[in-house]
């Protein structure tokens, strides 16, 4: 399904008159520097051709960073062994030098630098032997005369310093007169080479079969091109690859088992590489890479809108889109009006794909397909379910949810891909959230503690919103009434909810009696136990509250009345134990009651919640 979708998407892009279709045998490559040659083949200079990209931090402050320039070069080799490309862009091959803290050296582990440069020289010298344009001649002379062992102190390379190791290069003439990859003689000869290569492959009947994607009888790809996958091998990963004999069947070896034609393989790998390289079409949550696209020639509107579900807006344009979603959450606009304001096509088919790296392979975790309008409708409902503050309509992004599932004390902790996958699919489908989500959040609330710097570590609007969403969605989809409101519900007679409210009252009484200067409160000592076994903890806290109320003077009567009102609804008895859902209701009752105090006039601590 994924490979077919990628090929169909590539066909849609070709329909865009503003789009550019790369000829067979060519691909876009990240390039950081251009090596400018003299007519004699010497290096005149190495010019930084990186482009500036503006980004914004969470506070909206503009930042500028340098990113590689996309240059159309002959397709890169997919072999992991030493093998040169046409117009190779890798410094190891071009210069034959390694770099470390001591500078440049022609020596390297396993003599790889020398072998790589030798392969480069032999490959390029043969191909350029009969090309006589000015740039081709300069390039051939460079290939002939460059001796790595004599160039360890080359001035142009020394200026690159540590940028040398992680940079890619292209060639041009001194003064910026021409680029080698754009030379007509080179392009003509290289295209002839590609045509001949494809023709030879087509004549090989032993590798011809019905392509499983296109349905045509075509040469089958023996090895699939590699994908530059975030977090995967630096040399690239494969989506389809079969190396071990255990995967062989009917005498077919390697990727001949997949029955994907060479042309389809080139199309889907090129398309996936382009999507992964484009921040408009992908986001990352830990190791999980989410790629998305709409089946149309220009899907900028749809992708911009969808990306706002994952992290805060980056820039003014996205901030405006974000405001559109928040208006929908506040009820000032309908879902249909949101689609209209986004200028998106509600009927276009939209794909969302989740993948993770697995060594040299790519593991597809999920693929989701639906009409864009239906996805947006479900995502707006997902946000409405998460809302716990009746005043603020701020979105709770997937990145916020991910953060709250991890202990703040943990270092380099990551959410298991199956969990975050299940959460997203529940949001896309409008189905129940996974039980593991509620279980994880409840566990974090019970085990984490607030810090001196933040009162919103243990329980904040995101954690409370997740619990509310899990409980209300489960009730709604089973035909029951949603029992969790967005603020304190004095008419909610659920025993667990009432116990949570009562715990917040006891905490308030303790804080007032002590002046708020305690190092350890009942929340630190008893919250987790009370959440699970109210009957074992709440009576003790009730007696403690009576002692504390003696110090409250005129406020004692109010809290005594409040305790009595809640206890009447509990019939003066506490539940023995609470299951997971009830523990969630306990936490929401506590959150609502505590949050109500923060909004009232009798509190002296009115810190504004700032979970982001």
In this prediction, residue 311 carries a pLDDT of 79
∠ Cα 189 190 194 (to 5°): 120
Q: Which residues pair with 526 in a beta bridge?
A: none
Q: Are 542 and 522 in contact (CB under 8 A)?
A: no
Place of tokens 């089958």: 220
Q: Contact 113/149 with Cβ under 8 angstroms?
A: no
Report the interhelical angle of 300-307 vs 316-329 (nearest 10°): 70
**Token pair belonging to 504:** 């917040």
DSSP 481: P
Q: How far apart are the first and last CA of the chain?
A: 37
Listed residue (215, 227, 206, 339) closest to 272, CA to CA: 227
Query: Of 502, 500, 527, which is closest to residue 588 (Cα–Cα)?
Result: 500
Instruction: Quote the tokens at residue 609.
Output: 């919640």
- How confident is the model over 130-168, as pLDDT tens digits? 999 999 999 999 999 999 999 989 999 999 988 898 899
Please tell me the pTM assigned to this model. Answer: 0.77
CA geometry: angle 282, 465, 339, nearest 5 deg: 50
Contact 54, 103 (CB under 8 A): no
Ranges of residues in the chain with a pLDDT under 70 are 15-21, 55-61, 78-80, 109, 201-206, 243-256, 314-318, 320-321, 330-332, 452-455, 599-612
From residue 116, alpha-carbon distances to 97, 163, 344 in Å are 10, 20, 49
Strands 98-100 and 33-37: unpaired
Q: Is the separation of the CB atoms in 64 and 72 below 8 Å?
A: no
Question: Cα(536)–Cα(530) distance, rounded to whole angstroms?
Answer: 7
Q: Residue 250 has what pLDDT?
A: 60
Number of H helices, E strands in the chain: 20, 15
Handedness of CA 314, 12, 269, 66 (dihedral sign): negative
- The one-character DSSP state at 166 is T
């Amino acid at each position: 399904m994924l490979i077919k979708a990628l090929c169909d998407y590539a066909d849609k892009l070709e329909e865009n008159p503003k789009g550019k279709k790369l000829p067979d045998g060519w691909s876009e490559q990240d390039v950081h520097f251009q090596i400018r040659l003299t007519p004699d083949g010497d290096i005149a200079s190495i010019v930084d051709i990186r482009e500036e990209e503006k980004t914004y931090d969470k506070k909206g402050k503009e930042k500028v960073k340098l990113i590689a320039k996309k240059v159309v070069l002959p397709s890169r080799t997919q072999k992991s062994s030493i093998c040169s490309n046409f117009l190779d862009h890798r410094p190891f091959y071009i210069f034959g030098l390694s770099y470390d803290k001591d500078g440049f050296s022609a020596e390297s582990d396993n003599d790889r630098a020398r072998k790589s440069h030798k392969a480069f020289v032999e490959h390029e010298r043969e191909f350029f032997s009969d090309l006589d344009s000015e740039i081709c001649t300069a390039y051939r002379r460079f290939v002939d005369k460059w001796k790595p062992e004599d160039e360890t102190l080359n001035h142009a390379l020394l200026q690159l310093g540590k940028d040398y190791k992680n940079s890619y290069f292209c060639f041009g003439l001194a003064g910026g007169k021409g680029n080698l990859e754009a030379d007509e003689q080179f392009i003509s000869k290289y295209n002839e080479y590609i045509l001949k290569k494809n023709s030879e492959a087509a004549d090989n009947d032993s590798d011809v079969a019905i392509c499983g994607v296109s349905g045509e009888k075509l040469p089958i790809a023996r090895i699939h091109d590699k994908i530059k996958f975030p977090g995967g091998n630096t040399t690239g990963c494969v989506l389809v690859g079969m190396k071990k004999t255990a995967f062989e069947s009917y005498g077919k070896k390697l990727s001949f088992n997949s029955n994907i034609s060479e042309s389809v393989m080139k199309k889907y790998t090129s398309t996936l590489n382009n999507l992964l390289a484009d921040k408009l079409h992908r986001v990352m949550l830990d190791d999980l890479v989410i790629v998305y696209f709409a089946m149309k020639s220009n899907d900028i509107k749809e992708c911009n809108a969808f990306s706002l579900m994952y992290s805060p807006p980056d820039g003014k344009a996205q901030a405006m889109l974000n405001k559109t979603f928040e208006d929908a959450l506040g009820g000032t606009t309908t879902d249909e009006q949101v689609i209209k304001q986004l200028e998106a096509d509600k009927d276009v088919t939209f794909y969302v794909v989740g993948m993770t790296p697995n060594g040299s392979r790519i593991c597809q975790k999920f693929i989701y397909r639906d009409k864009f309008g239906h996805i947006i409708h479900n995502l707006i409902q997902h946000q409405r379910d998460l809302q716990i503050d009746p005043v603020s309509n701020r979105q709770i992004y997937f990145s916020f949810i991910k953060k709250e599932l991890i202990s703040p004390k943990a270092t380099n902790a990551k959410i298991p891909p199956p969990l975050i996958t299940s959460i997203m699919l529940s949001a896309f489908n409008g189905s129940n959230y996974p039980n593991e989500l509620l279980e994880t959040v409840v566990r974090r609330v019970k085990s984490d503690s607030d810090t001196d710097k933040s009162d919103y570590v243990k329980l904040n609007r995101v954690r409370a919103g997740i619990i509310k969403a899990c409980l209300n969605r489960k009730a709604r989809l089973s035909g029951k009434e949603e029992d969790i409101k967005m603020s304190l519900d004095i008419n909610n007679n659920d025993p667990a909810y009432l116990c949570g409210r009562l715990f917040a009252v006891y905490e308030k009484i303790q804080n007032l009696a002590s002046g708020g200067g305690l190092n350890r409160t009942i929340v630190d000592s008893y919250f987790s136990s009370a959440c699970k076994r109210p009957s074992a903890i709440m009576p003790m806290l009730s007696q403690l509250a009576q002692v504390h109320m003696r110090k409250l003077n005129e406020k004692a009567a109010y809290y005594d009345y409040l305790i009595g009102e809640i206890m009447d609804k509990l019939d003066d008895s506490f539940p023995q134990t609470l299951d997971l859902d009830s523990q969630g209701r306990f936490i929401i009752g506590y959150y609502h009651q505590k949050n109500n105090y923060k909004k009232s006039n009798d509190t002296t601590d009115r810190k504004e919640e700032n979970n982001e």
